[in-house]
């Protein structure tokens, strides 16, 4: 008897570019796509409880292989019942492979063809991450989706270096699949290649040829221009063609970028941006970005966003949250984060609805204009 697939994905094309409406079925529940996944690096989405996340509309969250293996360790989480039980989240979880840390912790690691040696930023200890170890860690964590180990480099670091990292990513992808240890865990491969069209086409061909359960697009939103990201997604979308597997654009969380990516056939997104900017007092609304640290909000009795149903908007005023930030009260971070995550997930729900009912262009234009204005400070 054959082992059932760990996930099932069904989608239907829409009339907006290459956009797709779909649903991913996982052992821990369904995911409606396009969908944003809040990031829980250390087994927590900062400042929020699992109950908050459910109320906000989260369907899937992320855990970080590198950080969780340093602390509290994958073996400990495995002994305690896996990541779902450890963090009391009963929905789907995707775990990254540590590939982003190969990029972000460049001063603390050494890469060779076999894997990566990290010097811990916590205590200076040495840790070895290979494709096999990354899969072993993710099996212990028990996530619904595990990522193959990849090497991400700055797309502006030179074509030879980008090509070398891409080829290594392809070899590591095959090794990751060979090391797959759980039949109930899906595995996604990662397309690299910087912003070079030929490299991206070559990477799509290599990753798509392997029996992954989904295809991720890495190496974007790491400093390249918006035009370069859009052009690269065009190349990737054409190269993927009618590939029926879910597509995950890694590290993208800006409201305007969602629309650029959805029109090019992307299904899943993750980013720390909504929670990170919340901790600086920035909140997202249909009017664009508001900075609650500004004195203008100290006498504002309105909610953060009158259309938002989150507890922060139902209960508190802009003036109150602005006061909390000035007083450096911890509640400020919780309220702003709760709002941003709720607003972002609600935006994805509205995006899906607009693809279905023909109002997509109006929504994309409204959000794009609002955030363009707020970025300019007008």
Pairwise CA distance, residues 21 & 266, whole Å: 10
- DSSP letters, 192-211, are --TT-HHHHHHHHHHHHTS-
pLDDT, averaged across the chain: 96
- Condensed to tens digits (0 to 9), the pLDDT of residues 194-209 reads 999 999 999 999 999 9
- Condensed to tens digits (0 to 9), the pLDDT of residues 315-357 reads 999 999 999 999 999 999 999 999 999 999 999 999 999 999 9
pLDDT over 50 (residue 1): no
- Condensed to tens digits (0 to 9), the pLDDT of residues 113-133 reads 999 999 999 999 999 999 999
- Condensed to tens digits (0 to 9), the pLDDT of residues 169-178 reads 999 999 999 9
* Extents of the domains making up the chain: 8-271, 278-376
User: Pairing between strand 29-33 and 20-26?
Assistant: antiparallel
| Catalytic residue ranges | 96, 270
What is the per-residue pLDDT for 160? 97
Pairwise CA distance, residues 78 & 141, whole Å: 6
Question: Confidence class of residue 2 from pLDDT cuts 50, 70 and 90?
Answer: low
- Condensed to tens digits (0 to 9), the pLDDT of residues 43-90 reads 999 999 999 999 999 999 999 999 999 999 999 999 999 999 999 999
- Condensed to tens digits (0 to 9), the pLDDT of residues 131-157 reads 999 999 999 999 999 999 999 999 989
Q: Which residues neighbour 227 within 8 Å (Cβ) at sequence distance 6 or greater? A: none
Pairwise CA distance, residues 306 & 298, whole Å: 17
Question: Confidence class of residue 375 from pLDDT cuts 50, 70 and 90?
Answer: low
- Condensed to tens digits (0 to 9), the pLDDT of residues 242-285 reads 999 999 999 999 999 999 999 999 999 999 999 999 999 999 99
Question: Counting runs of H as helices and runs of E as strands, what totals does the chain give?
Answer: 15, 16
Please identify which residue in the block is written with the tokens 């890469």: 111
Question: Confidence class of residue 373 from pLDDT cuts 50, 70 and 90?
Answer: confident
pLDDT over 80 (residue 4): no
Among 32, 105, 34, 35, residue whose Cα is nearest residue 65: 105
User: 8-271 maps to which CATH number?
Assistant: 3.20.20.105
Beta bridge partners of 109: 118
């Amino acid at each position: 008897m054959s082992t059932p697939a760990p996930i099932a994905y069904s989608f239907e094309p829409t009339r907006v570019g290459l956009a797709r409406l779909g649903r991913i079925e996982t052992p821990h529940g369904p995911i409606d796509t396009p969908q944003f996944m809040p990031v829980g690096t250390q087994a927590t989405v900062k400042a929020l409880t699992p109950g908050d996340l459910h109320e906000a509309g989260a369907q899937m969250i992320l855990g970080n292989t590198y950080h969780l293996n340093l602390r509290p360790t994958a073996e400990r989480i495995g002994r305690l019942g896996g990541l779902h039980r450890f963090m009391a989240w009963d929905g789907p979880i995707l775990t990254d492979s540590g590939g982003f840390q190969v990029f972000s912790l460049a001063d603390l690691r050494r890469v060779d063809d076999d894997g990566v040696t990290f010097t811990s930023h916590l205590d200076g200890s040495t840790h070895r991450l290979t494709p096999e170890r990354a899969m072993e860690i993710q099996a212990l964590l028990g996530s619904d989706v595990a990522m193959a180990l990849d090497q991400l480099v700055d797309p502006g670091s030179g074509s030879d270096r980008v090509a070398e990292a891409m080829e290594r990513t392809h070899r590591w992808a095959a090794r990751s699949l060979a090391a797959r240890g759980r039949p109930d865990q899906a595995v996604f491969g990662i397309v690299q290649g910087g912003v070079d069209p030929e490299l991206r086409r070559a990477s799509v061909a290599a990753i798509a040829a392997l029996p992954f359960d989904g295809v991720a697009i890495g190496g974007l939103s790491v400093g390249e221009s918006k035009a370069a990201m859009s052009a690269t997604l065009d190349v990737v979308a054409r190269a993927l063609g009618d590939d029926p597997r879910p597509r995950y654009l890694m590290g993208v969380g800006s409201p305007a970028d969602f629309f650029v990516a959805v029109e090019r056939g992307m299904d899943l997104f993750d980013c720390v941006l909504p929670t990170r900017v919340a901790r600086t007092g920035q909140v997202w609304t249909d009017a664009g970005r508001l900075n609650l640290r500004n004195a203008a909000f100290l006498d504002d009795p309105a909610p953060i966003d009158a259309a938002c149903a989150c507890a922060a908007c139902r209960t508190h005023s802009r003036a109150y949250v602005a006061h909390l930030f000035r007083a450096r009260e911890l509640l400020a971070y919780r309220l702003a984060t709760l709002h941003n995550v709720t607003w972002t997930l609600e935006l994805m729900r509205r995006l899906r609805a607009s693809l279905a009912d023909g109002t997509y262009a109006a929504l994309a234009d409204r959000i794009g204009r609002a955030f363009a204005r707020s970025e300019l400070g007008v």
